[in-house]
Amino acid sequence: MRVPLSWLREYVDLPPTETGRDVQAKLVAVGLEVETVEQIGAGLKGPLVVGKVLTIEELEGFKKPIRFCTVDVGSANGTGEPQEIVCGARNFAVGDKVVVVLPGAVLPGDFAIAARKTYGKTSHGMICSTDELGMGDDGTHGIIVLPPEHEVGTDAIELLQLVDEVLDIAVTPDRGYCLSMRGVARETAIAYGLPLRDPALLDVPAPNAYGYPVEVTDPAGCSRFTARTVVGLQPETRSPIWLQRRLQKAGMRPISLAVDVTNYVMLELGQPLHAYDRTRIDGPIGVRRAEQGEKLTTLDGIVRVLDAADLVITDNRGPIGLAGVMGGANTEIADAAEGTHTTEVVIEAAHFDAISIARTARRHKLASEGSKRFERGVDPQAAAAAAQRTVDLLVLLAGGTAEAGVTEVTAPSGPRTITMPADHPDRVAGVAYGRETVVRRLQEVGCDVYGQDELLVTAPSWRPDLNEPNDLAEEVIRLEGYENLPSTLPTPPSGRGLTDRQRLHRRVGRALAGAGYVEALNYPFTGEAVLDQLGLDADDARRRTVRLVNPLSEEEPSLRTTLLPGLLGALRRNDGRGSHDLALFETGLVFRPTGQETKPVRLPVDRRPSDEEIAGLDAALPRQPRHAAVVLAGAREQAGWWGKGRPADWADSVEAARTIAAEAGVALVVRADQHAPWHPGRCAALYVTVDGAETLFGHAGELHPRVTKELHLPERTCAMEVDLDVLEQAVDGALQAPRISTFPVATQDVALVVGQDVPAADVEQALRAGAGELLESLRLFDVFTGEQIGGGRKSLAYALRFRAADRTLTVDEATAARDAAVALAAERTGAVLRGA
């Protein structure tokens, strides 16, 4: 919400010396988020005056049309002679009143004006457009043409209100009343302790039987509908400058007088309005739910297919507007600039259900100023006043006549009352405010308060967010000042800290960061398209997703079942921005429905749910394991004076899995596998031992070339994803620190020849089992294939390190352990000692 300070002063008598920064500080203190204070017209310096175009000479021989004009600026130029100005715009004629900036002036952006020779003429100043004066968009993109009643030589800075301060307020969803000058003025008056001139306090005629007929068939969706009629509008009348400028400062574009007035009243009172051309309405106005598949062309020219849940405004022909969101093109106010005229209007001021409007706006991807206000809560009691204010302005500015008929359709409703102990804010804040302070603050926000120790509070109609004692306590606390709350550090109970699970997750993150990976946090949403791009089979469990009822994006309507889409998207974005050497990781939940979930029950809010109710809610949730994943592309080691670098490859992704397993003290078994989205020849299945059985832990390797092409990733991109919940199950007790032996190591190398199809992991596992407790480590350092060992075979060379904790091993002991390892490998895998 953009709030011009000059407009705000109409409702609150602020001290003359108060600046926008001062008001910002006061509003922030009472809980409003004032993001910026814009200085409009900063650096602007005159002379800037009203001028009258006397002559126009068309200059020829140039690439674009150029005009040499003489303009009467009165005595503003010091001579009284016409001012000669060269101008390229064509939306003005002889006799028009325009805005002229004279030499010596400075326009916004530190643009100094001086006489200069151009197009063969000397231009003494400039005829101004709205853009050059920093006024915002007026829809013309041309020279400002003023109404003829303004005198030549009048100061245009004051006339056009070019100098002002505008507060830009980020209105939170619970403070919808601050999407209006009335609401912000109320908060300002409270902050300064000054009286408020409420613009909604108007004399409003009582409803009668002569108004425009309205039929509301859905009172739950529309609890109030006020209709007023104004006839005899002068179609050529333009919005006055003061009204246009207030709209522009508030961020809206002037369109036509009738539309501008409705927008102005909406900004002033917070009540969205709509004006219909009465001659284009067929029969009574109705409010109902749409029929499935009905169509409506909205004011933006788009034909929209309506949903049965949409609330619509109708006449005898069908829908003429999306209630609370946008009107229909078939009853639009005519634009005089296009040669059509509207002389009779029906004004709609209604109150629509907030949830219904919010869902319709999102369903049609059609956010409007009206829907933004309705979905945050509009004062239902302000509709009649807003309609009256609109009527008054149309009569005053457009020469119209208000018809005597007043239509008001209302659904039965009562005030919202809340019972609260008088000391409840004291107990919430830990501050002794006292009853008098509590009552005074609640009355300042508009509540009626009765009672002594037990207060009966009636919430004001413009505050739908006040529904329980804690809401009222929050109002007292914020107005008394959050900064006045005492700061007390809580004392944590002794003997508690992170759980083993939390410690493991943190160690995994630190280990990956230490290995050179950068953490990337991604949205937990996915869509069918990216699962197709990953090449997942139709029966893949990762395709079974949980779909959101109200997704942020229709392209990603489901909760993720794998971390890879988000990480690969982050890698693609960074690669596209010039960062080609990438190593990213993420840890987070994935959502794996089993199909066995039950329908959730609505839990009570007046008491703690029972254990059975909580268990029923848990049963309705999908399985949510925590995964860790990495993605790599580009160089893993950079080249430099120290030597050549090397690109990331599948082995790096496997090593990342080993790093994670090592943090848990768990041995990792790596086997070849085929699993989407990895390359079938460069994919590893990762296993850990859980309760004595090998359990799949995850996969790692190089992505399939088709996947990298579909996702526009760098070639040879690698990835790894593992299930940390499985890793946690594999942990056998507390993590044991390694024992450091003071005795020397004995190293033995062996080269074993095995079949080409024998996995190195099986050979390694057999060697470890056969070597026994003396084996400290084992490393594969060479793989050889060639004619020397025969076709279909390969040689695997391992370095075995033996060490005892209590003695120096003899050569015979080390050799015996090596021979036992080789013997078991031969038995399990058919390995033959090379050269034997």
Instruction: Yes or no: say if 345 and 334 are a contact pair by the CB < 8 Å rule.
Output: no
Share of the chain above pLDDT 70, in %: 99
Residue whose C-alpha is closest to residue 388's, from 286, 261, 284: 261
Could you tell me the sign of the dihedral formed by the alpha carbons of 194, 199, 203, 207, in that order? Answer: negative
Share of the chain above pLDDT 90, in %: 72
DSSP character for 290?
A: P
Q: Is the pLDDT of residue 280 over 60?
A: yes
As given in the structure block, the two tokens for residue 529 are 């398209």
- What's the confidence (pLDDT) of residue 375? 93
487 pLDDT tier (thresholds 50, 70, 90): confident
- What's the confidence (pLDDT) of residue 137? 67
Strands 214-216 and 285-289: parallel
Average pLDDT, the chain: 91
* Structure confidence by residue, pLDDT tens digits, 102-144: 998 998 888 888 988 988 889 999 999 888 888 876 666 688 8
Q: Is the pLDDT of residue 2 over 80?
A: yes
DSSP character for 211?
A: S
Q: Is the pLDDT of residue 337 over 60?
A: no
* Structure confidence by residue, pLDDT tens digits, 701-740: 999 999 999 999 999 999 999 999 999 999 987 777 777 8
Instruction: Yes or no: say if 478 and 442 are a contact pair by the CB < 8 Å rule.
Output: no
C-alpha 247/C-alpha 181 separation (Å) is: 12
CB-based contacts of 453, cutoff 8 Å, min separation 6 = 421, 422, 423, 435
User: Mean pLDDT over residues 22-43, rounded?
Assistant: 92
413 pLDDT tier (thresholds 50, 70, 90): confident
Query: For residues 5-20, b (16+ Cβ closer than 10 Å) or e, as one string?
Result: bbbbeebbebeeebeb
- What's the confidence (pLDDT) of residue 339? 59
261 pLDDT tier (thresholds 50, 70, 90): very high
Q: How many residues does the chain have?
A: 836
Q: Is the pLDDT of residue 605 over 80?
A: no
Residue whose C-alpha is closest to residue 228's, from 208, 244, 246, 201: 208
Q: Is the pLDDT of residue 647 over 90?
A: yes
Q: Which of 207-216, 286-295, 312-321, 482-491 has the lowest mean pLDDT?
A: 482-491
Q: Is the pLDDT of residue 344 over 80?
A: yes
C-alpha 567/C-alpha 286 separation (Å) is: 51
| Phi (first) and psi of residue 488, to 5 degrees | -130, 120
Q: Is the pLDDT of residue 36 over 60?
A: yes
Q: Is the pLDDT of residue 492 over 90?
A: no
CB-based contacts of 532, cutoff 8 Å, min separation 6 = none
Q: Which of 120-124, 288-292, 599-603, 792-796 has the lowest mean pLDDT?
A: 599-603
Q: Is the pLDDT of residue 787 over 70?
A: yes
Three-class DSSP category at 786: coil
- What's the confidence (pLDDT) of residue 315? 93
Strands 793-802 and 746-755: antiparallel
Three-class DSSP category at 616: helix
* Structure confidence by residue, pLDDT tens digits, 452-485: 999 999 999 999 999 999 999 999 999 999 888 8
End-to-end Cα, the chain, rounded Å: 86
Could you tell me the sign of the dihedral formed by the alpha carbons of 429, 435, 439, 444, in that order? Answer: negative
Instruction: Name the residue with higher pLDDT: 89 or 524.
Output: 524
User: Mean pLDDT over residues 39-58, rounded?
Assistant: 89
C-alpha 351/C-alpha 271 separation (Å) is: 8
As given in the structure block, the two tokens for residue 476 are 């007292």
Three-class DSSP category at 675: coil
Q: Is the pLDDT of residue 175 over 80?
A: yes
CA-derived radius of gyration, the chain: 38
- What's the confidence (pLDDT) of residue 139? 64
C-alpha 516/C-alpha 203 separation (Å) is: 71
Indicate the pTM of the whole model.
0.68
Strands 832-833 and 775-784: unpaired
Q: Is the pLDDT of residue 336 over 60?
A: no
